[in-house]
Each structure stands twice: as structure tokens, then as C-alpha cells.
A = this chain, B = another copy of it.
């Protein structure tokens, strides 16, 4: 995934539609949270086991749609904020590695 190219594409897309005034960080964080809940809604009444078979069922396309929306708003938000996604994820993975030591199977 070329994050920067995607962000430029989404930025142009927003500008061509005069969406700039809507795309404050506050509103984009709301939109991201709303999309994450729409994804959650799909799993709401499923058992853990049913949730594992969701991509074989009638809501597979809805899952793809919501997952895409989440990434799109995450890319817009980090672009607007000037946050480098690659480096924050690398830093967080490194931090998690020291916070959660692996289980010793010894």
C-alpha cells in the first residue's frame, strides 16, 4: 500500500468536492468512530464462532465496505494532522513488544 499516494488521492477528492470545511480533525475522528461502529454492528448478535465465518455469508461485502471506510478516514485524518502512519505504527509495535513479553513455552 502506497500510503502517501492514497492520501494525495483522497485529499484531491475532498478538495474537488469542497469538503475541506467539513474535514476538521474533530469531524474526521467522529466519522472514523462512526464507521468502526458500523463494522461492529455486523458482528453484534453473532457468536464468536459465527463471526469467524462472516466472509462466507451474506454480509461479506458489508464488511469490506466498512473496513475500506475506516482506512479511508484514518488516511484522511492522519494527512490533515500531519501524522506519519508508518512511523507511529512501527513505534507502537516496538513498544508493545517490550510491554508484553512472549509466553515461554519452555
- State the copy count for this chain: 4
B91 near A68 (CB under 8 angstroms)?
yes
Q: Whole-angstrom distance between the alpha carbons of A2 and B86 in the complex? A: 9
The main secondary structure of chain A at its interface with chain B is helix
B67 near A88 (CB under 8 angstroms)?
yes
Give per-residue flags for A83-95: 1 if the beta carbon is below 8 A from chain B beta carbons, else 0. Answer: 1011011011100
Range for the number of chain A residues in contact with chain B = 35 or more
- A residues at B contact (CB < 8 Å): 1-3, 6, 9-10, 13, 16-18, 22, 24-27, 29-48, 51-52, 54-55, 63-65, 67-72, 74, 77-78, 80-83, 85-86, 88-89, 91-93, 96-97, 100, 102-103
